[in-house]
Structure 1
Amino acid sequence: MSKVKAVRCEGCGVPVQTESPEQKGYIPEKALEREVILCQRCFRIRHYGDLGAVEQDPEAYLRVLDEIAATDSLVVLVVDLFDFAGSWIPGFSRRIGKNPVLLVANKVDLFPKTANWKRLRDWVSASAREMGVHPVDTLLCSSAKGLKIPDVMQAMEHYREGRDIYIVGTTNVGKSTLINRLLREAGGTQDEMITTSPYPGTTLDTIRIPLEDGKEIIDTPGIVRKDRISEWVDPKELKIVVPNAVLRPKVYQLNDGQTLFFGGLARLDYVQGTRQPFVTYMSNRLYVHRTKLAQADEIWQKHRGELLAPPKDPAAIPPLTKHVITLSGKEKEDIVIAGLGWVACGKEKARVELWVPEGIQVSTRAAII
């Protein structure tokens, strides 16, 4: 039995223990004397940037979410505006009961300045309604840059009506960063209270933050979605895939018979259609390579893991599977790859074959930019 039972890590919420360094929540006994209790994993993330992964139980995290249905609370659903489809929680509407939902779309800072915020907000609201969720309000913000955080604070206080607040979302949408930013804006602390990192699944258990009226803000573990590419990338390569700066769209005028490689993670073959633009909205650090379709297989086999990277270890990624996409030509459309980004296509009829790791979500939508 661990010598410590009641104490939880203030960074990730997991119960701390002093006996098994290889298990979650380990903390040296000496460290228990510190004012701020951090498990060894959180300590290493904060001070050394160590992004080591831990075993996660997606079903356990969903059970935590299901418990919200039995409460009378305000649910703040945080989604990633850059990866909306990949950051939506499956079956969300049936898991939170009759509790009101405040929808917060994070990472608006990644979008070009030319993006229409009202259009983005309306699109997020409409997409949520299509998923069966009718939020009391929809807000855009950037927890990393502090954009529109006062608006989020005001909305949370207005809609909670004296209730607890649950902050929920999938891994890596920025929930914990948002809470840290809210605490700083409220004047509580300038330090990072909840551990954050680029690696999915940093928060391992619920973290409760008391409010002045006796209620709480509850940060929940991120829901794991294995159908997005970012969940499969090695932690050391994740910074190449997940954007952290304003997107610089790359425009490719393609004729049919040409291919785009997105690192070694995905491939788009333009099979049939007239010359038209394909604009990539992905991390600025991700290498995009254009070539002829006739040479694509040879280049893929020869250069994946080297020129075409990440991943450096292709064996760590599921084998590729083909998605045939027919562009209607009626409107501009986006081809969305969960956890990677999207390709905005021109307004011409076309046939595209998209190759992504097996199980990764692929979808199309009317262009949002």
Structure 2
Amino acid sequence: MSRSPEIDAVPAGPLTEWLRAEVPQMKVGNEPVDIERISGGHSNLTYRITDATGRRWALRRPPTGMVLATAHDMNREWRFITAVAPTPVPVAPPVAFCADTGVIGAEFYLMEFVDGEVLGDEASGHRLEPGAPRRTAGLDAVDVMAALHAVDPDGVGLGDLRRSGSYLERQLRRWHRQVHESSVPDLSTVDAVHARLVEQAAALPAADVRIAHGDFRLGNLAVGPDGRVRAVFDWELATLGDPLADLGWLIASWGRPGDEVPATIAGPSLVEGYADRAELVDRYAERSGRDVSHLDFYVAFARWRWACIGAGVYSRYAGGVMGATDEAEVGVARLAAIQRQAEAALAALGG
């Protein structure tokens, strides 16, 4: 059986020495700290670190191998969580950042560990009790999103990340360039969607510039047994841009039983008892005060962007760096999913 290099991507000995010197609140004994990977593979990797007293922390580092240009910038992710931490938006409290790649082979940062359910797939949707907790998970996620979009980027020290021009134009240009750096053999549908998105984006009303998380969904949140959000994770795609892109991303990933068009992710909302998409949209409009009449465009954009990101993940499988024993089978399935989402986006845009 092949072993993923991401299992061993955090050497315990060098990390322990760094923690002993840089994180005095962590109780590090004579033995190396205990390290366990708890998520990752398609994005930045997250590890649970346990100190000598049993207290838990979380470490984030980039994935190993075949990382596309501009992806997985740990310092950028660190900037966003430290900026947002004092606001009403719940995040894991940041602890320390390490720019010395000699410690574990890459930049990384440490944050406090937040207990909670991370509902990343359909099966996980059953972890919350039917009734109020499941409905609350979706509605509270939207409330947290609206709270994030209410944060003034200049007021939290992120104003220097503001760029001139259109956020959508930059995103369309960036992801189109990156998808053509991938190993996906047929990008004709992706290209057709890109052309329509460019055309239709030019006709949209100007959007206000806010913090856009970039991957806002239940799989990147920790929720309690009551369904309320305890922390927002995975800020690697965060930027200053159009807040409706976050809402479109959430809705594109929010599958419901009986859907004819599959969601971008087979997530927990496919289980009975979660709020419907229309409820989430209405809740966001109420809490944020924003016009959501053009949301269909943003959902199509989310499906296309998911296809572009999926192309990068497919390239890592095709390059053999994921450590899966069934890479060929997984690769075929990923190609089919990329095509399916691109086709759904094209249909929604009138293609």
> Shorter-chain TM-score category?
under 0.3
- TM-score (norm: length of structure 2): 0.24
Higher Cα Rg: structure 1 or 2? 1
Higher-helix-fraction structure? 2
